[in-house]
Amino acid sequence: MPEQDFMPIQNFDYLNFYVGDAMQAAYYFTNAWGFTPIAYAGLETGLRDRSSFVLEQGNVRFVLTSSLNPEGEIADHVKLHGDGVKDVAFRVEDAERAYREATSRGARSIMEPIVRKDDYGKVKLAAIATYGETIHTFVERQDYRGAFLPGYRPISTNVPRRARPAGIAGIDHVVGNVELGKMNEWVAFYERVMGFSQIIHFDDKAISTEYSALMSKVMQNGSGRIKLPINEPAPGRKKSQIEEYLDFYRTPGVQHVALITADIIATVRNLEERGVPFLKTPAAYYEDVLDRVGHIDEDIKQLAELGILIDHDEDGYLLQIFSKPIVSRPTMFFEVIERKGARSFGEGNFKALFEAIEREQALRGNL
């Protein structure tokens, strides 16, 4: 490994959402987004304070956790923030080493390394704090053969599964929103504590409309597998999407998760048929987009029909689309992205995207 990668991360392991009702959230992700329930923990497994459903699609694993009591950390989190991501967990080869490296460089400890065992083997876990109330758990699972973690029971494969995969293959990146003036602080945190490096910086001139602007820096781990953009608002004539998020989430947190697909047209059609609403792009966008990005393999008419955006860089092009908020508060949403060589983040689409978001903000009375 390169010398600077003192914390090699293999992949995203899971995202744990704290939600008001885990069972209903699991139904939503299964039927709307095509995930398959694979494991469960709750009263039937000996837990008295919470229930969790684990869902999977491709290399994406979501954990949906809700409180069984009106008090406690989970209930308090949902009361303050609404449904949202609590834990962005990383798979590592050595959880204790990752934890020691992070805490020795200034990370605040959430959970010291622990080992959990059952008949399927053992898992080592440790966790640190990051922006807002979000945490990162380090998961060492090479000695475990179970469905998820010790303490969870597999959901029987004998039960008919209604899930129909939508073509989601993995997580491309996870975006965090922080307060004005805090972006560089968290960029420095990921550099110092986790050995990440900054690969892209978008200033308020690149990400702006007539009314609002934001700034963003993209952090990447040593292998390039983990990408974590950090956004902060910038002064504008009206309220930016980041300010709207912070107003309703009440603290910094995960704004959106970008989900990889190998066929974005098929995936978006599939998701729309299930009722997933996406931001729409005016027809005028498609009149000259190919002049900007060059040749693409896809049918531009189908992309226009679905509202899929196109951008390019020196390595190729990408296709992307953004859902409307997936929860009642105007906070978290998903991006669906297909990369045809491009390694960038759709800078050429920022204006079209942000104008679409502002139209939604105006409908909510939050612009």
Read off the DSSP letter of residue 151.
T
Number of Cβ within a 10 Å radius of residue 148: 24
Work out the angle between the directed axes of helices 241-249 and 350-364 (0-180°, nearest 10): 50
What pLDDT was estimated at residue 215? Answer: 86
Parallel/antiparallel/unpaired status of strands 84-92 and 9-18: antiparallel
Q: Which residues of the chain have pLDDT under 70?
A: 1-4, 157-163, 203-212, 237-238, 350-354
What pLDDT was estimated at residue 1? Answer: 44
**325 CB contacts (<8 Å, ≥6 apart)?**
331, 332, 333
Please, are residues 354 and 215 in contact by the beta-carbon 8 Å criterion? no
What pLDDT was estimated at residue 359? Answer: 83
What pLDDT was estimated at residue 210? Answer: 63
Kind and range of the H or E run holding 52: strand 50-57
Query: How many C-alpha atoms does 186 have within 13 Å on its Cβ side?
Result: 26
What pLDDT was estimated at residue 345? Answer: 84
Kind and range of the H or E run holding 11: strand 9-18
What pLDDT was estimated at residue 114? Answer: 98
Please, are residues 53 and 63 in contact by the beta-carbon 8 Å criterion? yes
In angstroms, the CA 127 to CA 108 distance is 9
What pLDDT was estimated at residue 55? Answer: 97
In angstroms, the CA 265 to CA 305 distance is 10
List, as own/partner pairs, every contact residues 244-248 make where C-beta atoms lie below 8 angstroms and the sequence separation is at least 24, other chains included: 244/330, 244/361, 244/364, 244/366, 245/177, 245/330, 245/331, 246/177, 246/179, 247/366, 248/82, 248/329, 248/330, 248/331
What pLDDT was estimated at residue 220? Answer: 95
What pLDDT was estimated at residue 161? Answer: 56
What pLDDT was estimated at residue 214? Answer: 75
Please, are residues 203 and 215 in contact by the beta-carbon 8 Å criterion? yes
What pLDDT was estimated at residue 366? Answer: 81
Full set of structural domains in the chain with CATH: 9-154 (3.10.180.10), 168-364 (3.10.180.10)
In angstroms, the CA 260 to CA 180 distance is 29
What pLDDT was estimated at residue 162? Answer: 61
Question: Which three-class secondary structure string do you get for 185-197?
Answer: HHHHHHHHHHCCE
Where b means 16+ CB within 10 Å and e means fewer, 96-105 reads bbbbebbeee
